[in-house]
Structure 1
Amino acid sequence: MSLEHVLNARSVAVVGASKVPTKRGYQTIRTLLDEGYEGAIYPVNPKESRIMGLACHTAVSKIPGDVDVALIATPARTVPAILEDCGKKGVKGAVILATGFGETGATGKALENRVLEAAGSNHIRLIGPNTSGMMNLKDNLNLVGLKDSPRGDIALLTQSGNMALTLITEAKLKSRKGFTYYVGVGNEADIRFHEYLEFFRNDPDTRAILMYVEGMRDGRKFLQTAYKTTEKKPVVLLKSGRSSTGKRSAGSHTGALAGMSRVAKGAFERAGIIVIENSDELFPAAESLSSLPPIRNNRIAILADGGGHATIAADTLTDLGVQIPELEKKTQDKLRAILPGGAAVRNPIDVAGGTDDNPAIFADCARIILNDPNVGGLLIVGLFGGYGIRFAASLAMMEEDAAHQMGKMVRRYKKAIVVHSLYNSEKPHSLDLLRYYDIPVFGSLDVACKSIGVLAQYGRYLKGYHAKTNFVFNWGAKAKPDGRKIIDTVYRQGRTALLEPEAKRLLGLHGAAVTRDVLAGTAQEAADAAAVMGGKVALKIASPDILHKSDAKGVLLNLSGKEKVKKAFREIIKNARTFKADARIEGVLVCPMVQTGVEVIIGTKIDDQFGPVIMYGLGGVMVEILKDVSFRVLPITRLTARMMIEDTKSHPILDGVRGDTPHDKKALINLLLTCSEIIEAYPQIEEMDLNPVIVHHEGLSVVDARILLKPSGDAEKGGPAA
């Protein structure tokens, strides 16, 4: 069912209506009346006849008119029965304020399930439970009770009432911007984040979406929806908390390394979402993105009235990945013509006192700079807005005139202007005028830099939008018949871990360069296999119960000669028995030693919120110590594979150091794409670790491979999280 009847409700029942001013059942009705909500308001309380002049009803089902949404402000235990009663009336949605549901443990989860059952059987969509409420500020539909919330063009989604209050207060005190909607998502028991996102994407009055997220029930669906949304509207998000994803699969390197913050940040950014890490930058970023055009060439000019601020801004923007281009010669010449001889005009531009007696020159400089084709946006830093305070009151009118001019420039040139002012807290009229023209003004230089930086980040994303993935899998389409047979055999034998020969055979079916290994059941078989291979070999324990072979001293390298191989075989078997007496031992794997190269790791796992993800990084036994890895949500493209490699600190090693020949990054990219293909082909796979992969000057070798399957009951298409 559409959220239209819930978020744009034309009639509201307040269950738990009250005459006590501290109760939500009072505050909501009072706010609806005071703010001029034009829909029908129905207080529900069997103990009262009238509340604030409105007739009170004993139950929702007794209300004479239609009811779109019910605000339920009663204890958690009462909610299932109330929803059953709402169902008799045909209520479309309910906002459940109470706590005491899934967030409190098993008992609360059972109650939440009863709530969902009652809502589902009666076709009622739920906001919450454990929510602060919902506001449609366009229609004065305020089910939060927070008065005088600023109206504007930003939709707000949070899982924290306090964060919502912080953002709404910040908008009211520091900005001319406001909100179209606010939704406290709460436990996300029914309506999910992606459904709200889709609604706001299609809302003509919403220009940007601002989110505070602690956790998601369906992260992959959210990414798929975000991918479609960010093409049309910017989405700004602050993610807090970490998941327990890695704990479930501590038996693999990938599971141990996959923290929620790393996976989520990369996934969100790949969907075009602007991820904010500092809470004081959250609203300013949304304000800028909802007010100004994106900067599509990633080039920003800095106009300052002091060298210190200009240098700090240049450093900060560079750290944010923004280019500070040198201005064209004719642009520099025009600036020199109106500024003192000591002015710096290359970029950053320092007026060197040229505005002290006439701050309107800021507007003249801005016009010249924005005409430069190298410039996509302009950051003004320093004293603007304070000349009338700092020097002479007569200068205030010049600043106001400059503000008018700069406001018109944004519309004329379709280029962003963001202003940092030391006098922002003084609230001079010139800065209010800038905000009137939707030019954001900030007292913090760091926040100002971040705010124009996100315009460049969003512009970079839009420029390459069609090269991005839509996060959709075509499950099983590229599976090989022999690959299916391998997985079926593992399940039939009651296992969920492929033996290394099975894992390598599966990889080889999809074109991966795996080593040609032989599984030996006796010391003699191992010696014979080594002799056929020629050269030096490695021996590795083959056991579904020993995932980390090195921990069990189950790997011996650089062996040659039959007697040494036999001795090594017996030693490995003994070590395995010592490590785990009841381990199932299939034999010892005899592997040819491969040529030297750079050791890397590639791994995949199922993230609780986003489904299959892939990891790349520096490999070998040091991977969990150095943790030089990058993550992406699957599937990936060739460009994404290359960026995964470049995101690691160690990636220059592949280019060759101290005159060494470069290693084969193309082969590595192809292997990453092969791993993506395998996960899409076989939804039964829970985790995959290739560690190490040796990248040579030409080609590569998958030396060790581990594949874990989902329990057979969870092996349906895509698995529970995908």
Structure 2
Amino acid sequence: MMLEAFFNPKSIAVIGASREPLKVGHRIFRNLVESGFGGRLYPINPNADEILGFKCYGSVRDVPDEIDLAVIVVPARVVPSVVEDCGLKGVKGIIVISAGFGETGKEGAQLEREVVSICRKYGMRMQGPNCLGIINVQNRVNASFAPSMPLPGNIAFVSQSGAIGSAILNWAIRNEIGFTKFISLGNEADLNAADFLEALGEDEETRVIGLYIEGVKDGERFIEVAGKVTRRKPIVAIKAGTTDAGIRAVSSHTGSLAGSDAAFSAAFKKAGIIRVNTLEDLFNLVLAFGSQPIPKGRRVLIVTNGGGPGILAADACEKMGLEIASLEYEIREELRRLMPPHSSLSNPIDVLGDADEGRYRAALEAGLKSSNVDGIIVILTPQAVTPYDRIAEAVSEIGRLSDKPIIASFMGLEDNSAAIKTLKKGRIPNYPFPESAVYALKSMYEYSLILSSPIEERIPHVEVDVERIRSIINNVRLEGRLNLTINEAMEVAKAAGIPMPDAAIVRSKEEAGIIADRIGYPVAMKIVSPDILHKTDIGGVILNVRSRSEAEENYDAL
């Protein structure tokens, strides 16, 4: 696998390991010890003889053995010399936990560039700085200061925020959700989101990738890599910094540029990334993708013991572009023999409030048999005679045999109830409300469309005239300007392969009339001046010009 030194190191040094339990250097070293890492561990601290029973070394260069990965937890000002030592030692990869770099301003950015330069001199790769670290659950590597190790599973998570990453790890542990890997990106001075997504795309243990992202430094490569990964497994992403306040916060957080929200939406769509707007939705989707097969279509069967929740689910299906399936006549007749007379055998199937596991089993098996059903939503509302645990066992048992996704909404039950635990054990994703279950199934259906679309349609190749763009911007700089005129901006867009409307600069009213005739009416007319940025504020824009005479008159007016 790419980035072997980070995911599968044989030896790890913690530079800045501490004997003081409240220090990050102690927490990281303790995590590595307690996680059961099977390789060699070396605490580096010139002021200690041993930490947690491991011999300390004054410098990484004093360690007698080879080191694959070094985790650096020292003050920012010391990091360059420590990284130099790592390079001289032949360390393959480093994780810089320390903050105080590009996220703090010009001096920090210069320090960050210095560290990157040292890494490149020695051919080392760097994660961070200003990050939480990395976890590989399968290989028992917890090179982070996260509070604990998640259970083994098939979900990977990549985050530009250590705090968000820590919260997600806690959520996974609390909900008994298994992970394969966790990566905190930090400032991405060297390794970035695309690098780790590429590695996770090749990772056979990872079935779905969750991504928290604030900005991207190399958009073209990000789209290219993500587009290839989503052919193999889904990426579910939340983009932060979508408002003016959020964009300012992103800049101070990691030093990244948040970028246009519309541009990110377009990039995600091209790459086949499923975008969500809340962490709750991200949790819900990775849970579904990590446990259920992808539906082959959008036809849904709803099974419920309450009419109201079934109706809400049906409404949500239609609003989200899913189709309420029609069961075949033979299957409906078979159900009729198994259900009470008052049961509704249309879709939603209402098994009634006194339903036991037998009725749920019959309805679910009907959905599996039907060639008209692509996915099933199963709803349970708590009623006096409802045998929750036995119904959960029946749903889980059928789920193990199903090649169609089954999504549950067991409403009103505590997360630690026996029924919910049974669903978790049976890998049936459960949501407290029907709409959330429908949203998960809808997102899985949308991913099926991504898989079926040719990748060249999602990521079209665009020829970019870099030299033309560079020439335009250099000319603007030579004139001492900070902004492009509208015609310069349009030329840059054209050179980047973005279609632009026909336009021309005119310098007389006669020329305005001739050009307007050539372009075709109606046309817009605008003042072009490097001294006027906000044209509308001074009446410098006239729209809906419909004739040569109007063009000539408006030229004089402008």
Q: Determine helix, strand or coil for the equivalent of 1:210.
A: strand
Q: CA deviation at 1:297?
A: 0.8
Q: Report the CA distance shift for 1:466/1:559 in structure 2 as closer, same or farther (over 3 A).
A: closer
Look up the match of 2:153. Answer: 152
Look up the match of 2:377. Answer: 379
Look up the match of 1:437. Answer: 426
Look up the match of 2:276. Answer: 276
- The one-character-per-residue Cα deviations of 1:662-686 (angstroms, maximum 9, x if unpaired) are xxxxxxxxxxxxxxxxxxxxxxxxx
**Which piece of structure 1 moves more, 109-118 or 466-475?**
466-475
Look up the match of 2:255. Answer: none
Give the whole-Å Cα distance in 1 for the aligned partners of 2:516 and 2:439.
Answer: 63
Look up the match of 1:689. Answer: none
TM-score, length-scaled by structure 2: 0.85
Look up the match of 1:674. Answer: none
Give the whole-Å Cα distance in 1 for the aligned partners of 2:285 and 2:515.
Answer: 62
Give the whole-Å Cα distance in 2 for the aligned partners of 1:222 and 1:305.
Answer: 46
Give the whole-Å Cα distance in 2 for the aligned partners of 1:440 and 1:105.
Answer: 44
Look up the match of 1:419. Answer: 408
Q: Determine helix, strand or coil for the equivalent of 1:379.
A: strand
Q: CA deviation at 1:528?
A: 9.0
Report whether the alignment pairs 1:402 with 2:401: no
Q: CA deviation at 1:144?
A: 1.6
Give the whole-Å Cα distance in 1 for the aligned partners of 2:380 and 2:439.
Answer: 16
Q: CA deviation at 1:36?
A: 1.6
Q: Does the 8 Å contact 1:135/1:142 carry over to 2?
A: yes
Look up the match of 2:385. Answer: 391
Give the whole-Å Cα distance in 1 for the aligned partners of 2:50 and 2:322.
Answer: 61
CA RMSD of aligned residues (A): 3.8
Give the whole-Å Cα distance in 1 for the aligned partners of 2:512 and 2:395.
Answer: 84
Q: Report the CA distance shift for 1:357/1:536 in structure 2 as closer, same or farther (over 3 A).
A: closer
- The one-character-per-residue Cα deviations of 1:670-715 (angstroms, maximum 9, x if unpaired) are xxxxxxxxxxxxxxxxxxxxxxxxxxxxxxxxxxxxxxxxxxxxxx
Look up the match of 1:71. Answer: 71
Aligned counterparts, 1:170-189, within 5 A:
170-175=171-176, 177-189=177-189
**Which piece of structure 1 moves more, 135-144 or 79-88?**
135-144
Look up the match of 1:265. Answer: 265
Q: Does the 8 Å contact 1:220/1:471 carry over to 2?
A: no
Whichever residue aligns with residue 460 of structure 1, its letter is: L
Q: Determine helix, strand or coil for the equivalent of 2:357.
A: coil
Report whether the alignment pairs 1:365 with 2:357: no
Whichever residue aligns with residue 473 of structure 1, its letter is: V
Give the whole-Å Cα distance in 1 for the aligned partners of 2:51 and 2:83.
Answer: 22
Whichever residue aligns with residue 231 of structure 1, its letter is: R
Q: CA deviation at 1:126?
A: 1.0
- The one-character-per-residue Cα deviations of 1:339-391 (angstroms, maximum 9, x if unpaired) are 233322222222233xx2522210111010222122111011123xx57xx32
Q: Does the 8 Å contact 1:369/1:375 carry over to 2?
A: yes
Look up the match of 2:349. Answer: 349
Q: How many residues align?
A: 535
Q: CA deviation at 1:461?
A: 1.6
Aligned counterparts, 1:213-362, within 5 A:
213-242=213-242, 260-353=260-353, 356=354, 358-362=356-360
Report whether the alignment pairs 1:168 with 2:169: yes
Q: Determine helix, strand or coil for the equivalent of 1:5.
A: helix
Q: Does the 8 Å contact 2:397/2:426 carry over to 1?
A: no
- Larger-gyration structure (1/2): 1
Report whether the alignment pairs 1:470 with 2:456: no
Report whether the alignment pairs 1:212 with 2:201: no
Q: Does the 8 Å contact 1:499/1:542 carry over to 2?
A: no
Look up the match of 2:443. Answer: 454
Whichever residue aligns with residue 361 of structure 2, its letter is: A
Whichever residue aligns with residue 74 of structure 1, its letter is: V
Q: CA deviation at 1:433?
A: 3.2
Q: Report the CA distance shift for 1:50/1:367 in structure 2 as closer, same or farther (over 3 A).
A: same
- The one-character-per-residue Cα deviations of 1:123-163 (angstroms, maximum 9, x if unpaired) are 22111111011111111111124324222111111122222
Q: Does the 8 Å contact 2:513/2:551 carry over to 1?
A: no
Give the whole-Å Cα distance in 1 for the aligned partners of 2:499 and 2:392.
Answer: 67
Would you identify which runs of 4 or more consecutive aligned residues in structure 1 move more than 6 Å?
A: 486-495, 510-513, 530-533, 535-539, 564-567
Give the whole-Å Cα distance in 1 for the aligned partners of 2:407 and 2:69.
Answer: 41
Whichever residue aligns with residue 376 of structure 2, its letter is: L
Look up the match of 2:128. Answer: 128
Q: CA deviation at 1:542?
A: 6.2
Whichever residue aligns with residue 406 of structure 2, its letter is: I
Q: Report the CA distance shift for 1:528/1:95 in structure 2 as closer, same or farther (over 3 A).
A: closer
Give the whole-Å Cα distance in 2 for the aligned partners of 1:50 and 1:527.
Answer: 82
Q: Determine helix, strand or coil for the equivalent of 1:341.
A: coil
Look up the match of 1:25. Answer: 25
Look up the match of 2:254. Answer: none
Identity percentage over the alignment?
30
Q: Determine helix, strand or coil for the equivalent of 1:134.
A: strand
Q: Does the 8 Å contact 1:154/1:180 carry over to 2?
A: yes
Whichever residue aligns with residue 373 of structure 2, its letter is: V
Look up the match of 2:250. Answer: none
Q: Determine helix, strand or coil for the equivalent of 1:232.
A: coil
Whichever residue aligns with residue 441 of structure 1, its letter is: N
Q: Report the CA distance shift for 1:262/1:511 in structure 2 as closer, same or farther (over 3 A).
A: closer
Q: Does the 8 Å contact 2:299/2:325 carry over to 1?
A: yes
Look up the match of 2:252. Answer: none
Q: Does the 8 Å contact 2:150/2:173 carry over to 1?
A: yes
Q: Report the CA distance shift for 1:171/1:560 in structure 2 as closer, same or farther (over 3 A).
A: closer
TM-score, length-scaled by structure 1: 0.67
Aligned counterparts, 1:568-583, within 5 A:
569-572=555-558
Look up the match of 1:694. Answer: none
Q: Report the CA distance shift for 1:157/1:570 in structure 2 as closer, same or farther (over 3 A).
A: closer
Q: CA deviation at 1:527?
A: 10
Q: Does the 8 Å contact 1:83/1:118 carry over to 2?
A: yes
Q: Does the 8 Å contact 2:236/2:275 carry over to 1?
A: yes
Q: Does the 8 Å contact 1:539/1:568 carry over to 2?
A: no
Q: Report the CA distance shift for 1:337/1:39 in structure 2 as closer, same or farther (over 3 A).
A: same
Give the whole-Å Cα distance in 2 for the aligned partners of 1:150 and 1:9.
Answer: 20
Give the whole-Å Cα distance in 1 for the aligned partners of 2:473 and 2:75.
Answer: 50
